[in-house]
Amino acid sequence: MGIWKDAFVAPRQATAPDAEALGRLVLDLARSRIVRTPWTLVAGRVDVNETLLWSDGAVWQAVAGDPLTDARVLAKGDEVLDVLPALARAPVGDEDVAVIFASLDFDNPRILEHYWYEDARTVLVCYGLSRPQARWLVMNQLMDEPGGPTQQAGVCIVHTFKFGEHDPCPAIDEVARRHFGPDLVHGLTLH
């Protein structure tokens, strides 16, 4: 059966989002074969602690209209390069933005090794928050336990998975270090 988990990685110092930097991160995730398209770009008020959901087209609670989140779809696409002009037009810095990818790319042997076998329900989201939010580093929603420590995040990566190693994924961390620097903070929440 398995338990759903959301893994989090961000720089220790919360950084303000920048459309160009966010675009470079998104392109690197695709070129490094970490994620698969299609992608969806949303903007509005986004909760970085919101549980990621999976379904066709990477529908996530903010897109589905969760009352705790007020976000609208700005753009969707199958070509990762199309996210750059979409981000350039997005209200990055004025509103929360998130680029949602359909799943991790299991054609990458490093992803497959870490997550054991292909599971297309593994949504990955790159957040660019208009102001830092406190992200739970440890939380067990299944047991309704209070959360553990938090980390202020402005730009971060969160992905969901059901099967695989609980340690941070080395392939995702490699990309995160290139964009966030060497001082990373990780979290894992269960739901």
Tokens standing for residue 148:
């553990």
pLDDT in tens, 123-152: 999 999 999 999 988 876 656 666 678 899
Q: How many CB atoms lie within 10 A of CB 89?
A: 12
For residues 191 and 144, is the Cβ–Cβ distance under 8 A?
Answer: no
DSSP 65: T
H/E run at residue 110? helix 109-115
For residues 93 and 18, is the Cβ–Cβ distance under 8 A?
Answer: yes
Question: What's the pLDDT band for 165 if we cut at 50, 70, 90?
Answer: confident
Question: What's the pLDDT band for 49 if we cut at 50, 70, 90?
Answer: confident
Average pLDDT, the chain: 87
Whole-number Å distance between alpha carbons of 91 and 183: 28
pLDDT at 99 over 70: yes
For residue 170, cis peptide bond before it (omega within 30 degrees of 0): no
Q: What is the pLDDT of residue 139?
A: 73
Q: Which amino acid would we find at residue 136?
A: W
H/E run at residue 77? strand 70-77
For residues 115 and 106, is the Cβ–Cβ distance under 8 A?
Answer: yes
Sheet (strand 138-140) strand order? 70-77, 35-45, 96-104, 124-136, 150-161, 5-11, 184-190, 138-140
Between these two residues, 31 and 57, which has the higher pLDDT value?
Answer: 31
Q: CA nearest 112: which of 55, 190, 165, 156?
A: 165
Between these two residues, 46 and 3, which has the higher pLDDT value?
Answer: 46
11 by DSSP, 3-state: which? strand
